[in-house]
Amino acid sequence: MISQKAKYALRALIALAQAAPEEPTLISDIADQQDIPRKFLEQILLDLKHRGLVMSRRGKAGGYLLLRPPEEITFGEVLRLIDGPLAPLPCLSKTAYHRCADCKSEKDCHIRRVFADVADATRTVLDRATIADAISGHSATRIVFELN
């Protein structure tokens, strides 16, 4: 399950993508429109700002703006930023690899092999799906499952 925070982040980015590209949107407006607790959303937007996804303007007529085109912001990027690695096992993460504490041999790990397939699938889907895709309802990836 993805966290509530990640859902909020994605919804906020979608809201920003749907707003006028030059007019800053108020935190409060996003919070009201998307039903997100105001103060919680502040933190989230700040995180997104620190990672370069959005920018902000202070003072009157301030607010938030998308810093990159919605076609270039992927779900994978947002999820990693908020929830951490996508991989189901630490030893399968491309972006935050580390050995499982009690693992004797990665090559021989029976469960690792199975989860490697899961990791590939989620990575592929989430790193291809963009905010723009989400808004348009267009799916970036078609997945075909074959029996071995």
| Min CB(85)–a second copy separation in Å | 7
Smaller CB separation from DNA, 18 or 124: 18
95's tokens: 């972006």
Q: Tell whether residue 105 is a contact of a second copy (CB under 8 A).
A: no
| Min CB(57)–a second copy separation in Å | 26
Question: 85 burial class (0-12, 13-18, 19+ CB within 10 angstroms)?
Answer: middle
9: nearest Cα among 79, 70, 72, 62 = 79
Residue 122 DSSP SS3? helix
39 interacts with, out of a second copy, DNA, none, CB within 5 to 8 A per kind = DNA
100: nearest Cα among 85, 90, 108 = 90
5: nearest Cα among 33, 28, 36, 31 = 36
Q: Give me the residues that bind DNA (CB under 7 A), please.
A: 3-5, 8, 24, 26-28, 37-40, 42-43, 45-46, 49-50, 56-64, 83
Q: Give me the residues that bind a second copy (CB under 8 A), please.
A: 1-2, 7, 10-11, 14, 35, 75, 84-85, 87-90, 100, 102, 104, 110-111, 113-115, 117-118, 120-122, 124-126, 128-129, 133-135, 137-148
